[in-house]
Amino acid sequence: MDERSTSELIVTLGEDFQRCYANVIKDIENGEKQDDGTTLADHEFNARQLVRAGFALIEGVSFALKIAAIDDAIENGIELTQAEIDFAFEVSHQLNEKGKVVEVSAHINLTKNIKFAFNLYSKAHSLNQSFDAGLTWWSDLKKAIKIRDRLMHPRSPENLDIEPNEVITVISAVRGFEALLVEYIGKKA
């Protein structure tokens, strides 16, 4: 069996996002400069890829953070509830047709999942830090989720259009998420 690591996942997702970012910048640099200072660029394909890559990064790293938090909690002697462990692994339970309990995939709202990941990490390291949802990147993340949802579930051709300010919103959300991750990991006890 091929042994692949969580760090490989994180690195690959980060590289994908950086590559998409570089492609969008290249599209804009190669665009036609207008008299009013704007640029006409064929950036939308790469911009849509940037959105997808950004959310893959956020979701993949959030999952990895939760799993790392469980490992660290065990190592640090921090007791976690079974519910915390189940949510970290994104597992839920329900009854099947025979009345037996079965594991199913937990469908967790992304913003709640991100808060949970950071709070679980904080608990695992006895950090005196609670998640701050008042930061600019968090507001941008909520806007970016709507952009992602529109792109992933298009109902009309216009749903695939992505404006430059939407690209900036997604980049702000991803960079803010990354900065918070670095901050939490840097405070590790």
Whether the predicted pLDDT of 154 surpasses 90: yes
Residues 139-159 have a mean pLDDT of 96
Domain, as residue range, for 157: 6-77+109-186
The structure tokens listed for 68 are: 């790392």
Residue 96 lies in a domain: no
Residue 84 lies in a domain: no
Residue 82 lies in a domain: no
Residues 18-47 have a mean pLDDT of 84
Residues 123-145 have a mean pLDDT of 91
Note the pTM of the prediction, 2 decimals: 0.89
Residue 1 is predicted with a pLDDT of: 45
Whether the predicted pLDDT of 88 surpasses 70: yes
More confident residue, 28 or 17: 17
Residues 159-165 have a mean pLDDT of 91
The percentage of the chain sitting over the pLDDT mark of 70, rounded to a whole number, equals 95
| Residue-averaged pLDDT of the chain | 91
The structure tokens listed for 25 are: 């910048």
Residue 123 lies in a domain: yes
Residue 130 is predicted with a pLDDT of: 82
Distance CA 129, CA 137 (A): 18
Residue 129 is predicted with a pLDDT of: 82
Residue 93 lies in a domain: no
Give SS3 for 132. coil
Residue 166 lies in a domain: yes
DSSP notation for 169-186: HHHHHHHHHHHHHHHHHH
Residue 89 lies in a domain: no
Residue 155 lies in a domain: yes
Residue 128 is predicted with a pLDDT of: 86
Domain count, the chain: 1
- Report whether 92 contacts 104 (CB < 8 A): yes
